[in-house]
Amino acid sequence: MRINAFSKKQGQIFRFIEQPQTALICDGAVRSGKTAAMTLAFLFWATAHFDRTSFAICGKTVQAAERNILIPLQSFEGLPYRLEYKTSKMLLTVRSGGRENYFYLFGGKDERSYALIQGITLAGVLFDEVALMPRSFVEQAIARTLTYPDKKLWFNCNPDSPNHWFYQEWILHPEKHGAVHLHFLMDDNPAMTPEAVKSAESMFSGVFYDRYIRGMWVVAEGRVYSQFSADRHVLRSSTRGMDGQFYISIDYGTINPCSMGLWCVQQTQAIRIKEWYFDSRKAQRQMTDEEYYTALENLARGYDIRKVIVDPSAASFIECIRRHRKFSVWDADNDVLNGIRVTSALLTAGMVKIHESCTDAIREFGLYRWDEKANSDRVLKENDHAMDDIRYFCYTILAREFRWAEWKVK
């Protein structure tokens, strides 16, 4: 990757290197150039001011830090540094002009993550996507820098809820932390052509458009999938003889409803062609795992099923499927918010369709809502069973196996 001219806003990131403030916060729209500029500025600062010193690069996971920071850094052309990354130690060593510094990669994915960063002394930390990290992890990482009077903290993120702790504590009160706050839009990235901007805008709608395109910290409210419409997303033609690759997604329930969807993945779209939905409360009886397995077999009859994706908490049912040795079964990725984000993007792009016979899925699309009373992004746990199995399919199969959501929210 060649380093071209930076925008005026990106230039302010580099000026932070010699400013007296302790922290830099860059938030705003996706693809606005904040991460690339911050990564380089962080490296320039560390190598110019320190020798044989430790730093941290933090992502939601180590893999995310590698993908968002390390790999782009290694692709820059013309940098006066020698980079050596040891995957086993999650350690990037940077050498330049006789100096050598150490950058450790950490993942802050949940409340237990703070223990991973204890015991190390750091001169600076880069937090990539800080809004995705728990407060305990971020504060523990900051505490690792307290012995360095000339430390610097580097934060970047896309907007979340205005009730988010980072927004309330840091973005609203940067002066309290000796921080510089820079807000980015896509116009601040000189690499974004008008066509690229239009493409990015087409990927989001609703709350995700406000956050990722307009760069706003807004509350998630109303329908989760507000872009879903019968005219655009409901298929009314026959699915008989349809060609493609077939999958089944399942949200398992005993007391709560159980939802199964049969999917046909074609070149540019995935169609939910059939479904099975059982509500034990309405039926006034519960079904056994074997009865659910019979329903799965009936739904799959006549189709070559590549994989069955199941709610990972349904351990007994997953074991039941494996015991019959007929279907290849995967645990679904149950990251709710990222799953909703990907599903929303695929719906906006018109890549997910629902056959008109799938009445429970269509019904839930109209009822599935954000919890507007929650302090963070959270959906109401009602009318969500077909929504969950659709999310499992989109996030586990379409985004991961087919890589249809191969865009990075940066």
Structural domains of the chain, with CATH: 8-191 (3.40.50.300), 230-401 (3.30.420.280)
Answer yes or no: are the C-beta atoms of 27 and 154 closer than 8 Å.
no
Predicted confidence at residue 3, as pLDDT, reads: 57
Predicted confidence at residue 410, as pLDDT, reads: 35
Spatial CA neighbour of 23 closest among 119, 138, 107, 132: 138
Per-residue pLDDT of the chain (410 residues; tens, 9 = 90+): 555 679 999 999 999 999 999 999 999 999 999 999 999 999 999 999 999 999 999 999 999 999 999 999 998 888 999 999 999 999 999 999 999 999 999 999 988 898 899 999 999 999 999 999 999 999 999 999 999 999 999 999 999 999 999 999 999 999 999 999 999 999 999 999 999 999 899 888 889 999 999 999 999 999 999 999 999 999 999 999 999 999 999 999 999 999 999 999 999 899 999 999 999 999 999 999 999 999 999 999 999 999 999 999 999 999 999 999 999 999 999 999 999 999 999 999 999 999 999 999 999 999 999 998 888 899 999 999 999 999 999 999 998 877 765 533 33
CA distances from 121 to 23, 45, 199, 232, 238 (A): 17, 17, 43, 55, 64
- Report the C-alpha gap between 407 and 212 in whole angstroms: 12
Distance of CA 116 to the CA centre of its chain: 21
In the chain, the amino acid numbered 60 is K
Answer yes or no: are the C-beta atoms of 318 and 334 closer than 8 Å.
no
Q: Could you tell me the pTM of the whole model?
A: 0.83
Predicted confidence at residue 408, as pLDDT, reads: 36
Spatial CA neighbour of 161 closest among 176, 171, 150: 171
Tokens linked to 126:
């880069």
DSSP-assigned letters across all residues of 98-161: TEEEEEEEEE--STTGGGGGTT---SEEEEETGGGS-HHHHHHHHHTTTT-TT-EEEEEE----
Q: Identify the burial level of 245 via C-beta atoms within 10 angstroms of its C-beta, where 0-12 means exposed, 13-18 middle and 19 or more buried.
A: middle
Predicted confidence at residue 2, as pLDDT, reads: 55
Predicted confidence at residue 293, as pLDDT, reads: 98
Distance of CA 335 to the CA centre of its chain: 8
Strands of 201-257, DSSP E: 234-235, 245-251
| CB proximity list for 102: less than 8 A, separation 6 or greater | 52, 53, 54, 55, 91, 92, 93, 94
Place of tokens 């429970």: 360
